[in-house]
Amino acid sequence: MKALVYHGPGKKAWEQTGKPMIQETTDAVVKIVKTTICGTDLHIMKGDLPEVKDGRILGHEGVGIIEEVGSSVSNFKKGDHVIISCVTSCGKCDFCKKGMYSHCEKGGWILGYMINGTQAEYVRIPYADNSLYAIPAGSDEEALVMLSDILPTGFECGVLNGQVKPGDTIAIIGAGPVGMAALLTSQFYTPAEIIVVDQDDNRLKVAKTFGATHIINSAAENAVEKIMSLTNCKGVDTAIEAVGAVATFELCEAIIGAGGHIANIGVHGKPVTLHLETLWSRNISITTRLVDTVTTPMLFKTVQSKKIEPKKLITHRFKLDQIIEAYDTFEHAAREKALKVILEN
Ligand SMILES: NC(=O)c1ccc[n+]([C@@H]2O[C@H](COP(=O)([O-])OP(=O)(O)OC[C@H]3O[C@@H](n4cnc5c(N)ncnc54)[C@H](O)[C@@H]3O)[C@@H](O)[C@H]2O)c1
Ligand SMILES: [Zn+2]
Ligand SMILES: [Zn+2]
């Protein structure tokens, strides 16, 4: 089969590799139907995650059709359509029992990171029973790709950890697919004001159509001053970091109001300064989280009932073998007016 193989920072190739096989009785092999590229893949390509080995097939999102199941898989059979969760979980260990699938003792986020991923014609999914979700007949599979990662990530790491409440003023820093997922799902809780910050005018314009009440291009304007003036110098109740950069985390520290919550989503490759000299007395909380994907079944219902329409995040469609071009488009999102790209096998 062919797959997108990582060969160290800045190096990747669409090349011939071995087709995955069942290794454990709890595995499934899935034929990819649709997959996509995540901001985290861009962090890997930049070298922010040096633990990723040369030869790794990237990708941790997608929908597909089961090709084969191991003898102890009981929830799925050959031919079933499934959503692949970006997090692999056994469902049985202490962390899984606590709902913290991201730290499953036998899984967690391993796909396209520690084991081969979904930017391929086929992928092996360990602990298939707990790591795949059935797709009912007639569903819009493209929309469901957004349930692999970005929707649970924006919701769990951003909205739930950020404790968004009715009437709150929130800021979302980063209007990529993950920031947009936080924007869509924050509205379950009817915050009064949603300020979205990015440097990409196209993404900011899209954020406005998705419910942002204010947009700020932080390359063109002083985001701290603007947010302080929008909040009567009080700062925001929740600041969601959805970039994974030093400047954007420090922006969250500068705009957080008393009693507020900084909810970090971004994958960081560099240390940031914790400004305790200003924050020690502000009654704030700072949370970090690797997405658990425990809310996937709930989010699935909101997508099926069209309470949220993540399909609108898809701007570009490619064939899977055009994946190098798709990476270029996603990497140059402002130039290409890109949000989520879909690759079809
Ligand atoms: N915690 C988790 O479990 C988890 C899961 C998935 C993704 N992530 C992370 O979430 C982040 C967002 O993912 P994405 O797919 O939306 O990525 P993306 O690269 O598409 O989006 C990042 C956005 O940040 C903007 N940006 C960059 N520098 C900026 C700056 N200085 N000021 C303002 N905006 C800036 C970019 O223009 C872009 O729109 C990434 O760091 C990704 O690794 C974390
Ligand atoms: Zn991801
Ligand atoms: Zn587990």
Instruction: Give pLDDT tens digits for 137-152.
Output: 999 999 999 999 999 9
Over residues 16-27, mean pLDDT = 98
| Tens digit of each residue's pLDDT (9 = 90 or more) over 274-297 | 999 999 999 999 999 999 999 999
Each residue of 296-324: pLDDT tens digit?
Answer: 999 999 999 999 999 999 999 999 999 99
Residue 218 CB less than 6 A away from ligand 1: yes
Count of CA atoms in the C-beta half-sphere (13 A) of 116? 21
pLDDT in tens, 169-178: 999 999 999 9
The CA 189 to ligand 2 mean position distance, Å, reads 24
Q: Give the pair of three-digit tokens for residue 184.
A: 């869509």
Task: Classify 207 as helix, strand or coil.
Answer: helix
- Per-residue model confidence as pLDDT tens digits over 8-20: 999 999 999 999 9
Nearest to 39 by CA among 198, 221, 238, 201: 198
Alpha helices in the chain (DSSP H): 39-46, 94-97, 128-131, 141-144, 150-152, 177-186, 201-209, 223-230, 246-255, 276-279, 296-304, 323-331, 333-336
Closest ligand 1 atom to the C-alpha of 181?
16
Task: Please give the pLDDT value at position 271.
Answer: 97
Query: What is the mean predicted confidence (pLDDT) over 334-338?
Result: 97
**For the CA of 126, the nearest ligand:** 3
pLDDT bin (cut points 50, 70, 90) of residue 159 is very high
State if residue 38 touches ligand 1 by the CB under 6 angstroms criterion. yes
How much is the pLDDT for 342? 98
By percentage, how much of the chain surpasses pLDDT 70? Answer: 100
pLDDT tens for residues 198-218?
Answer: 999 999 999 999 999 999 999
112 lines ligand 1 (CB under 6 A): no
Residue 55 token pair: 């030869």
What's residue 334's pLDDT?
95
Average pLDDT over residues 38-50: 96
Q: Is the CB of 203 under 6 A from ligand 1?
A: yes
Which of ligand 1's atoms lies nearest the C-alpha of 330? 20
Ligand 1 centroid to residue 40 C-alpha, Å? 8
112 Cα to the center of ligand 3, angstroms: 18
CA separation for the pair 240, 238 (Å, rounded): 6
* pLDDT value, residue 249: 98
Confidence of residue 332 (pLDDT cuts 50, 70, 90): very high
Pocket lining: 263 vs ligand 1, CB cutoff 6 Å: no
- Res 69: pLDDT: 98
Asked whether the beta carbons of 241 and 252 are under 8 A apart, the reply is: yes
As a whole number of angstroms, the distance between CA 290 and CA 48 comes to 16
Q: Write b or e for each residue in 36-51: b if 16 or more Cβ atoms lie within 10 A of its Cβ, otherwise e.
A: bbbbbbbbbbeebbee
3-state secondary structure of 326: helix
Q: How far is C-alpha 90 from the chain's CA centre?
A: 21
Q: How far is the centre of ligand 1, averaged over its atoms, from the C-alpha of 38 (Å)?
A: 9
Half-sphere exposure of 255 (CA within 13 A, CB side): 32
Q: Which atom of ligand 1 lies closest to the CA of 291?
A: 3
What's the rounded mean pLDDT across residues 25-48? 97
158 ligand 1 Cβ < 6 A: no
The pLDDT, as a whole number, for residue 319 is 98
Retrieve residue 82's tokens: 């499934």
Q: Which runs of E-coded beta strand occur in the chain?
A: 2-6, 12-16, 28-36, 62-69, 81-84, 122-125, 132-134, 169-173, 193-198, 214-217, 236-241, 256-264, 285-288, 314-319, 340-344
Res 278: pLDDT? 96
The verdict on the CB of residue 40 being under 6 Å from ligand 1 is yes
CA of 61 to the centre of ligand 2 (A): 7
Query: Does the C-beta of 108 come closer than 6 Å to ligand 1?
Result: no
**CA-to-CA distance for 137 and 135, rounded, in angstroms?**
6
- Give the pLDDT confidence score for residue 218 in this predicted structure: 98
Q: What integer pLDDT is reported at residue 17 of this predicted model?
A: 98
Partner residues linked to 69 by β-bridges: 28
Ligand nearest to the CA of 240: 1
What is the Å distance from ligand 1's center to 243 Cα?
3
Question: What integer pLDDT is reported at residue 81 of this predicted model?
Answer: 98
pLDDT band at 88 (very low <50, low <70, confident <90, very high): very high
Q: Does residue 243's CB lie within 6 angstroms of at least one atom of ligand 1?
A: yes
